[in-house]
A and B are shown apart, each in its own frame.
Chain A
């Protein structure tokens, strides 16, 4: 069965600190996709990244970086030099290839203190 675990429920950091959000997934599929979304207080989910199971290259986008390790079934997300605007709930999600089944973790609430 597919499952996404985000063990960190809440994290608080002081502005400019680096923070890593953990995501561990379970799936029996060989082809799958992993995602990170940001949910600000307004409620709308904002897409951050998609990674397929065959691409284990780490990715960096500005202050954001992602570390995908199939060996540990993890897809962790790091924010460098955090800012107050990064305060939100972050969700990791897993989908099979067809895209008609989607599994979200329970989210990590990040608070960046000025």
Chain B
């Protein structure tokens, strides 16, 4: 069983640029959630995708957008990057959206915005 994978591992961008982060969910999982974790902070929920539709969103502006593909892999897109977007971006997959479904996290993508 393949776990959750994320690419790239690290990324450096400049302010104003756009970035796309990728997540491959664990085999058999149809739900992907994205989190932003700033240094020294807990993860902040960005949004969740279930069967290719957004199924919940945290307090993030519209320049944070996502996609989920038919194979349930997912992308996180961030436009007009700001310095405060520098963080570890984690994705988690689960078999279903309900809280009792365990989320499996990937290793994260470290984004640095200069």
Point out residues on A near B: beta carbons under 8 Å: 4, 6, 32-33, 37, 42-47, 50, 52, 91, 93, 95-107
Contacts and interface: CB of A to CB of B under 8 A. Distances in A.
A97 B99 contact: yes
Contacts of A93: 42
Contacts of A37: 105
A50 B41 contact: no
A98 B107 contact: no
B84 interface: no
Contact of B104 (A6, A47, A104): A47
Contacts of A101: 45, 56, 58
B105 to A, nearest CB: 4
Interface range, B side: 20 to 34
Nearest to A99: B99
Given A91-B43, A104-B42, A50 B98 contact: no
B42 A98 contact: no
Nearest to A46: B105
Nearest to B47: A100
Contacts of B66: none
B2 to A, nearest CB: 14
